[in-house]
Structure 1
Amino acid sequence: MFLGTHHPKLDDKGRLTLPAKFRDALAGGLMVTKGQDHCLYVFPRAEFEQMARKVADAPFTNEAVRAYQRYLFAGTDEQRPDGQGRVSIAPELRRYAGLTKECVVIGAINRLEIWDAQAWQRYLDEHEESYAEAREEVLPGVF
Protein backbone atom coordinates (compact mmCIF):
# COMPACT_ATOMS: atom_id res chain seq x y z
CA MET A 1 0.00 0.00 0.00
CA PHE A 2 1.35 3.42 -0.98
CA LEU A 3 0.84 6.19 1.60
CA GLY A 4 2.47 9.47 2.55
CA THR A 5 3.94 12.57 0.93
CA HIS A 6 7.51 12.87 -0.28
CA HIS A 7 9.49 15.71 -1.89
CA PRO A 8 12.07 14.42 -4.37
CA LYS A 9 13.74 16.61 -6.97
CA LEU A 10 13.78 16.02 -10.71
CA ASP A 11 17.38 16.03 -11.92
CA ASP A 12 18.71 17.66 -15.10
CA LYS A 13 18.31 14.38 -17.01
CA GLY A 14 14.61 14.08 -16.12
CA ARG A 15 15.13 11.41 -13.47
CA LEU A 16 13.22 11.23 -10.22
CA THR A 17 14.37 9.26 -7.18
CA LEU A 18 11.52 7.19 -5.80
CA PRO A 19 10.97 7.20 -2.04
CA ALA A 20 13.00 4.35 -0.50
CA LYS A 21 9.99 2.86 1.27
CA PHE A 22 8.31 2.12 -2.10
CA ARG A 23 11.27 0.70 -3.99
CA ASP A 24 10.70 -2.96 -3.12
CA ALA A 25 7.10 -2.78 -4.35
CA LEU A 26 8.27 -1.22 -7.64
CA ALA A 27 11.48 -3.23 -8.17
CA GLY A 28 9.75 -5.59 -10.63
CA GLY A 29 8.93 -2.73 -12.94
CA LEU A 30 6.47 0.10 -13.02
CA MET A 31 4.30 2.00 -15.42
CA VAL A 32 4.22 5.81 -15.49
CA THR A 33 1.15 7.29 -17.15
CA LYS A 34 -0.85 10.48 -17.38
CA GLY A 35 -3.19 10.79 -14.44
CA GLN A 36 -6.16 13.02 -13.85
CA ASP A 37 -5.62 16.61 -12.67
CA HIS A 38 -2.31 16.90 -14.58
CA CYS A 39 -0.30 14.61 -12.34
CA LEU A 40 1.41 11.35 -13.25
CA TYR A 41 0.35 7.96 -11.96
CA VAL A 42 2.95 5.32 -11.13
CA PHE A 43 1.62 1.78 -10.92
CA PRO A 44 3.48 -1.41 -10.12
CA ARG A 45 3.54 -3.37 -13.37
CA ALA A 46 1.16 -6.09 -12.10
CA GLU A 47 -1.36 -3.51 -10.87
CA PHE A 48 -1.26 -1.68 -14.21
CA GLU A 49 -1.72 -4.92 -16.15
CA GLN A 50 -4.79 -5.76 -14.06
CA MET A 51 -6.27 -2.32 -14.70
CA ALA A 52 -5.32 -2.44 -18.40
CA ARG A 53 -7.25 -5.70 -18.85
CA LYS A 54 -10.39 -4.02 -17.47
CA VAL A 55 -9.91 -1.01 -19.75
CA ALA A 56 -9.26 -3.29 -22.74
CA ASP A 57 -12.45 -5.26 -22.00
CA ALA A 58 -14.62 -2.15 -22.28
CA PRO A 59 -16.58 -2.00 -25.56
CA PHE A 60 -14.34 -0.28 -28.11
CA THR A 61 -17.45 0.50 -30.16
CA ASN A 62 -18.03 3.30 -27.63
CA GLU A 63 -16.25 6.50 -28.71
CA ALA A 64 -15.44 7.57 -25.13
CA VAL A 65 -13.91 4.16 -24.41
CA ARG A 66 -11.70 4.34 -27.51
CA ALA A 67 -10.57 7.84 -26.59
CA TYR A 68 -9.75 6.79 -23.03
CA GLN A 69 -7.88 3.69 -24.19
CA ARG A 70 -5.82 5.69 -26.66
CA TYR A 71 -4.99 8.41 -24.16
CA LEU A 72 -4.09 5.97 -21.40
CA PHE A 73 -2.01 3.49 -23.37
CA ALA A 74 -0.28 5.98 -25.67
CA GLY A 75 0.76 8.04 -22.65
CA THR A 76 2.24 5.15 -20.65
CA ASP A 77 5.96 4.50 -20.21
CA GLU A 78 7.39 1.31 -18.71
CA GLN A 79 10.31 1.86 -16.35
CA ARG A 80 12.55 -0.13 -14.03
CA PRO A 81 14.22 1.80 -11.21
CA ASP A 82 18.02 1.93 -11.40
CA GLY A 83 20.27 0.96 -8.48
CA GLN A 84 19.66 4.32 -6.80
CA GLY A 85 15.87 4.07 -7.12
CA ARG A 86 15.66 6.57 -9.97
CA VAL A 87 13.27 6.44 -12.91
CA SER A 88 13.38 8.55 -16.06
CA ILE A 89 10.28 10.60 -16.68
CA ALA A 90 9.68 10.92 -20.42
CA PRO A 91 9.65 14.50 -21.76
CA GLU A 92 6.00 14.24 -22.85
CA LEU A 93 4.97 13.10 -19.37
CA ARG A 94 7.02 15.88 -17.73
CA ARG A 95 5.32 18.41 -20.01
CA TYR A 96 1.84 17.04 -19.29
CA ALA A 97 2.36 17.25 -15.52
CA GLY A 98 4.28 20.55 -15.70
CA LEU A 99 7.12 18.99 -13.73
CA THR A 100 9.94 21.28 -12.76
CA LYS A 101 12.79 20.53 -10.37
CA GLU A 102 10.64 20.51 -7.21
CA CYS A 103 8.22 17.56 -7.18
CA VAL A 104 5.86 15.89 -4.75
CA VAL A 105 5.22 12.15 -4.73
CA ILE A 106 2.13 11.04 -2.86
CA GLY A 107 0.95 7.57 -2.01
CA ALA A 108 -2.57 6.90 -3.25
CA ILE A 109 -3.11 3.32 -2.00
CA ASN A 110 -2.56 1.33 -5.23
CA ARG A 111 -0.43 3.90 -7.04
CA LEU A 112 1.90 6.82 -6.56
CA GLU A 113 1.14 10.25 -7.97
CA ILE A 114 3.87 12.61 -9.12
CA TRP A 115 3.03 16.31 -8.98
CA ASP A 116 4.88 19.51 -9.63
CA ALA A 117 5.30 20.96 -6.11
CA GLN A 118 3.50 24.23 -6.92
CA ALA A 119 0.65 22.41 -8.69
CA TRP A 120 0.23 20.11 -5.68
CA GLN A 121 0.03 23.08 -3.31
CA ARG A 122 -2.57 24.77 -5.54
CA TYR A 123 -4.57 21.53 -5.62
CA LEU A 124 -4.50 21.29 -1.83
CA ASP A 125 -5.50 24.94 -1.44
CA GLU A 126 -8.42 24.55 -3.86
CA HIS A 127 -9.75 21.27 -2.44
CA GLU A 128 -9.16 21.49 1.29
CA GLU A 129 -12.69 22.67 2.06
CA SER A 130 -14.32 19.95 -0.03
CA TYR A 131 -12.31 17.20 1.72
CA ALA A 132 -14.62 17.15 4.76
CA GLU A 133 -17.71 17.20 2.56
CA ALA A 134 -16.44 14.41 0.32
CA ARG A 135 -15.94 12.09 3.29
CA GLU A 136 -19.68 11.67 3.68
CA GLU A 137 -20.11 10.92 -0.01
CA VAL A 138 -17.17 8.49 -0.21
CA LEU A 139 -17.69 6.78 3.17
CA PRO A 140 -21.26 7.43 4.34
CA GLY A 141 -21.75 6.62 8.02
CA VAL A 142 -18.16 5.45 8.60
CA PHE A 143 -16.84 8.39 10.63
Structure 2
Amino acid sequence: MGEFHHTLDNKGRIIIPAKFRKSLGESFVITRGMDGCLFGYPMLQWEKLEAQLDKLPLTKKDARAFTRFFYSAAAEVEFDKQGRINLSASLVGFAKLTKNCVIVGVSDRIEIWDEQRWNEFSQEAEDNFEEISEKMTDFDF
Protein backbone atom coordinates (compact mmCIF):
# COMPACT_ATOMS: atom_id res chain seq x y z
CA MET A 1 0.00 0.00 0.00
CA GLY A 2 1.02 3.58 -0.39
CA GLU A 3 2.10 6.18 -2.92
CA PHE A 4 5.68 7.36 -3.27
CA HIS A 5 7.28 9.91 -5.58
CA HIS A 6 10.73 9.23 -7.04
CA THR A 7 12.72 10.28 -10.06
CA LEU A 8 13.86 8.24 -13.02
CA ASP A 9 17.46 9.00 -13.93
CA ASN A 10 18.80 9.24 -17.48
CA LYS A 11 20.02 5.62 -17.31
CA GLY A 12 16.52 4.27 -16.60
CA ARG A 13 17.09 3.68 -12.88
CA ILE A 14 14.49 4.38 -10.24
CA ILE A 15 14.51 3.92 -6.47
CA ILE A 16 11.93 1.51 -5.15
CA PRO A 17 10.81 2.57 -1.66
CA ALA A 18 12.23 0.46 1.17
CA LYS A 19 8.68 -0.38 2.23
CA PHE A 20 8.18 -2.23 -1.05
CA ARG A 21 11.65 -3.76 -1.37
CA LYS A 22 11.07 -6.10 1.56
CA SER A 23 7.84 -7.43 0.05
CA LEU A 24 9.27 -7.73 -3.45
CA GLY A 25 12.29 -9.78 -2.38
CA GLU A 26 15.81 -9.71 -3.80
CA SER A 27 14.50 -9.91 -7.35
CA PHE A 28 11.08 -9.48 -8.89
CA VAL A 29 9.41 -9.26 -12.29
CA ILE A 30 8.38 -6.02 -13.93
CA THR A 31 6.27 -5.81 -17.06
CA ARG A 32 3.71 -3.77 -18.95
CA GLY A 33 0.64 -3.09 -16.88
CA MET A 34 -2.83 -1.78 -17.50
CA ASP A 35 -3.81 1.87 -17.88
CA GLY A 36 -0.35 2.85 -19.12
CA CYS A 37 1.72 1.93 -16.07
CA LEU A 38 4.19 -0.83 -15.23
CA PHE A 39 3.37 -3.75 -12.93
CA GLY A 40 5.98 -5.25 -10.60
CA TYR A 41 5.36 -8.66 -9.02
CA PRO A 42 7.20 -10.59 -6.30
CA MET A 43 8.40 -13.91 -7.72
CA LEU A 44 5.73 -15.94 -5.89
CA GLN A 45 2.94 -13.74 -7.28
CA TRP A 46 4.51 -13.84 -10.75
CA GLU A 47 4.53 -17.64 -10.66
CA LYS A 48 0.84 -17.66 -9.71
CA LEU A 49 0.09 -15.27 -12.55
CA GLU A 50 2.06 -17.44 -14.98
CA ALA A 51 -0.02 -20.45 -13.91
CA GLN A 52 -3.21 -18.52 -14.69
CA LEU A 53 -1.88 -17.32 -18.04
CA ASP A 54 -0.87 -20.89 -18.94
CA LYS A 55 -4.55 -21.86 -18.66
CA LEU A 56 -5.63 -19.40 -21.36
CA PRO A 57 -6.65 -21.19 -24.55
CA LEU A 58 -3.97 -21.11 -27.21
CA THR A 59 -6.72 -21.32 -29.81
CA LYS A 60 -8.10 -17.87 -28.87
CA LYS A 61 -6.52 -14.95 -30.71
CA ASP A 62 -7.07 -12.49 -27.81
CA ALA A 63 -5.44 -14.89 -25.35
CA ARG A 64 -2.38 -15.26 -27.60
CA ALA A 65 -2.14 -11.50 -28.10
CA PHE A 66 -2.46 -10.75 -24.38
CA THR A 67 0.13 -13.28 -23.29
CA ARG A 68 2.59 -12.17 -25.98
CA PHE A 69 2.19 -8.53 -25.00
CA PHE A 70 2.46 -9.27 -21.28
CA TYR A 71 5.41 -11.67 -21.42
CA SER A 72 7.46 -9.98 -24.14
CA ALA A 73 8.34 -6.97 -22.00
CA ALA A 74 8.66 -8.87 -18.70
CA ALA A 75 12.04 -8.71 -17.03
CA GLU A 76 13.45 -9.99 -13.78
CA VAL A 77 15.10 -7.09 -11.96
CA GLU A 78 17.32 -6.83 -8.90
CA PHE A 79 18.08 -3.94 -6.59
CA ASP A 80 21.41 -2.19 -6.62
CA LYS A 81 23.04 -0.94 -3.40
CA GLN A 82 20.93 2.23 -3.48
CA GLY A 83 17.65 0.32 -3.78
CA ARG A 84 17.24 1.13 -7.47
CA ILE A 85 16.13 -1.03 -10.37
CA ASN A 86 17.00 -0.52 -14.01
CA LEU A 87 14.06 -0.27 -16.39
CA SER A 88 14.46 -1.18 -20.05
CA ALA A 89 13.93 1.50 -22.68
CA SER A 90 10.87 -0.39 -23.94
CA LEU A 91 9.22 -0.34 -20.50
CA VAL A 92 10.07 3.33 -20.00
CA GLY A 93 8.60 4.07 -23.43
CA PHE A 94 5.47 1.99 -22.86
CA ALA A 95 4.61 3.80 -19.61
CA LYS A 96 5.80 7.14 -21.04
CA LEU A 97 7.90 7.62 -17.93
CA THR A 98 9.58 10.97 -17.58
CA LYS A 99 11.77 12.19 -14.75
CA ASN A 100 9.01 12.38 -12.12
CA CYS A 101 7.35 9.05 -11.33
CA VAL A 102 4.94 7.63 -8.78
CA ILE A 103 5.27 4.16 -7.30
CA VAL A 104 2.04 2.75 -5.91
CA GLY A 105 1.43 -0.36 -3.83
CA VAL A 106 -1.65 -2.22 -5.10
CA SER A 107 -2.52 -5.51 -3.40
CA ASP A 108 0.07 -8.07 -4.62
CA ARG A 109 2.06 -5.77 -6.90
CA ILE A 110 3.59 -2.35 -7.32
CA GLU A 111 2.75 0.01 -10.15
CA ILE A 112 5.12 2.57 -11.63
CA TRP A 113 3.46 5.58 -13.23
CA ASP A 114 4.60 8.76 -14.90
CA GLU A 115 3.61 11.46 -12.40
CA GLN A 116 1.43 13.41 -14.83
CA ARG A 117 -0.42 10.26 -15.96
CA TRP A 118 -0.90 9.22 -12.33
CA ASN A 119 -2.32 12.63 -11.44
CA GLU A 120 -4.76 12.45 -14.36
CA PHE A 121 -5.80 8.90 -13.46
CA SER A 122 -6.18 9.79 -9.76
CA GLN A 123 -8.29 12.85 -10.49
CA GLU A 124 -10.61 10.91 -12.79
CA ALA A 125 -10.94 8.07 -10.26
CA GLU A 126 -11.61 10.55 -7.45
CA ASP A 127 -14.24 12.37 -9.50
CA ASN A 128 -16.00 9.08 -10.28
CA PHE A 129 -15.32 7.13 -7.08
CA GLU A 130 -18.95 6.73 -5.99
CA GLU A 131 -20.08 5.76 -9.48
CA ILE A 132 -17.22 3.26 -9.81
CA SER A 133 -17.98 1.74 -6.40
CA GLU A 134 -21.65 1.29 -7.28
CA LYS A 135 -20.67 -0.74 -10.36
CA MET A 136 -18.57 -3.16 -8.33
CA THR A 137 -21.16 -5.87 -7.71
CA ASP A 138 -18.88 -8.33 -5.89
CA PHE A 139 -17.53 -5.90 -3.31
CA ASP A 140 -19.01 -4.65 -0.06
CA PHE A 141 -17.43 -2.00 2.15
TM-score range relative to shorter protein: over 0.9
Give 5+ residue unaligned stretches, structure 1: none
Q: Percent identity?
A: 35
State whether residues 32 and 76 of structure 1, in contact with CA within 8 Å, keep that contact through their aligned partners in structure 2: yes
For 2:24, the aligned partner's letter is: L
Once the two structures are TM-superposed, the CA of residue 140 in structure 1 deviates from its matched residue by 5.9
Normalised by the length of structure 1, the TM-score is 0.92
What is the RMSD of the two structures over their aligned residues, measured on CA atoms?
A: 1.4
Once the two structures are TM-superposed, the CA of residue 61 in structure 1 deviates from its matched residue by 0.6
Question: In the alignment, is residue 92 of structure 1 matched against residue 90 of structure 2?
Answer: yes
Aligned mates of 2:136, 2:74 — CA distance in 1? 28
Once the two structures are TM-superposed, the CA of residue 77 in structure 1 deviates from its matched residue by 1.1
Length, aligned pairs only = 141
Aligned mates of 1:49, 1:130 — CA distance in 2? 34
**Partner SS for 1:82:** coil
Aligned mates of 1:86, 1:67 — CA distance in 2? 31
Normalised by the length of structure 2, the TM-score is 0.93
Aligned mates of 1:139, 1:7 — CA distance in 2? 33
After TM superposition, where is structure 1 displaced by more than 2 Å over at least 4 residues in a row? 136-143
State whether residues 20 and 105 of structure 2, in contact with CA within 8 Å, keep that contact through their aligned partners in structure 1: no
**Partner SS for 1:133:** helix
